[in-house]
Amino acid sequence: MRLTGFPLLAGSSLLCVLSVSAATRPHYGGTLHVEMRAAPASLDPGDSSQSISLETRNLFALMFDTLASLDDQGKPEPALASSWQAESGNQRWQFFLRHGVTFQDGTPVTPDAVATSLRRTNPNWKVFSEGEAVIIERDAPAPNLPAELTLRRNSIVKREGGMVSGTGPFSVSRWDPGKKLLLVARDDYWNGRSFLDAIEITMGKSFREQMISFDLGKAHLIEVAPEQARRGIAEGRHVESSAPVELIALVFGRDPLSPADGRQRQALALSVDRDLLNTVVLQLAGEPAGGLLPNWITGYGFLFPASVNLDLARQVRSEIPHTTSWTLGYDPADPTTRVIAERIVLNARDAGLGMQITAASSADVRIVRVPLISLDAQIALTEMSASLGLSPPKFTSSSIDDLYSAESKLLQSQRVIPLLHVRAAYGVAGPVKNWRTPRDGSWRLPNVWLAEKP
């Protein structure tokens, strides 16, 4: 009996090994179900009426490509453009396109089509085709142009009859604006077909609604409120987080009206207990911020003070003859910013400053969230300053010293008080394989595959 049973046991073990191997080996097929809070009314990445967010950046990357892309170190590398070169002075650039690339509707990507797309989103640029190249001429030197072209708004889009067509790994199969989007994999994608057959994205879902769908097995990939990430892991969910990729800051609607106004803003910055905000409100889902860019992308973030100094705040307050009672605004749809606002008001009062919370849009100072939308530090700082309503930073070189100097000048304007840098968090279901959360929180869905059901 033993001699007979052993071959059966060995055969059974071999079948188990083969079954496990098949279940863990990458394969094509399946529909990935995704839920997200964003509810865009348009699929045009060049639509300036839509707010910039991590969600829309990740969404548009599934359908559209840019001439260049950034590697994990923030260095430009070829995408739709196979190569490029700049003439002396960096004002005139040539970009040479890959051959054989088509839009979703099957039409070829030509230099004329690329130039037309870029002119629409950059009316101040001179863009035209010349033979097999796309020429971009700028009014001033643009040594960082390849990195600038990686921004989602510079995606190459064919616009015709109110419809948009891209060159990305997925094409639009069904679109219910602001509600649902069905994407299907392109067999002819220039960078190789994705493993997934399709991605179904349900939009306008709150964090709570997404978590319910996730727990019921209706969603493979969801967004998790950063402050709920640790709890999600403790309850047995697979939650992954990025590096800090979103700035939460206080933004004033105007420049200081007087030296006393500037001193009052200084006292407020000194009074904020950022460590408490991170620990209690965000549940360690972020980092206290003294600068605009996170330390992981610059390496010098620690040089900007982020610690509370209530004694100094009170001293500065005592030197101001008359102070103004400010109103502090927040997004009523964002309960986290409401709690942060309440804490800041308490901090301000401890320093002898008057501040009241309001949901009105006319507040003296507002709590805002601004995403990090590029791994290139100069581009990231430029885009962030624009979102904050600040003057654009000026760079004279690509050195880290120049970047630090530019960021310091923005902070010296006293228009913005950084509070926190916050991570992006995602819930990833068990069947989702080869998921990786990059530092910038981007999706790499073309590399993802779904395990077969047992």
The per-residue pLDDT for range 265-308, each reduced to its tens digit, is 999 999 999 999 999 999 999 999 999 999 999 999 999 999 99
Nearest to 91, CA basis, from 49, 125, 133, 131: 125
Q: What is the Cα–Cα distance from 67 to 154, expressed in whole angstroms? A: 8
Q: Is the pLDDT of residue 79 over 90?
A: yes
> What percentage of the chain exceeds 70 in pLDDT?
94
Q: Is the pLDDT of residue 18 over 70?
A: no
Triad 337, 291, 387: Cα angle to 5°: 60
3-class SS of residue 234 = helix
3-class SS of residue 111 = helix
Instruction: Count how many Cα atoms sit within 13 Å of the Cα of residue 79 in the half-sphere of its side chain.
Output: 22
pLDDT at site 390? 95
3-class SS of residue 268 = helix
Token digits of residue 411: 């902070």
The per-residue pLDDT for range 397-445, each reduced to its tens digit, is 999 999 999 999 999 999 999 999 999 999 999 999 999 999 999 999 9
Instruction: Work out the end-to-end distance of the chain between its first and last CA atoms, rounded to an integer number of angstroms.
Output: 31
Could you tell me the pLDDT band of residue 8, with boundaries at 50, 70 and 90?
A: very low
Triad 130, 171, 195: Cα angle to 5°: 110
Q: Which long-range contacts (CB under 8 A, 24 or more apart) does 305-308 make?
A: 306/274, 306/418, 307/274, 307/275, 308/270, 308/271, 308/272, 308/273, 308/274, 308/275, 308/276, 308/347
pTM of structure? 0.92
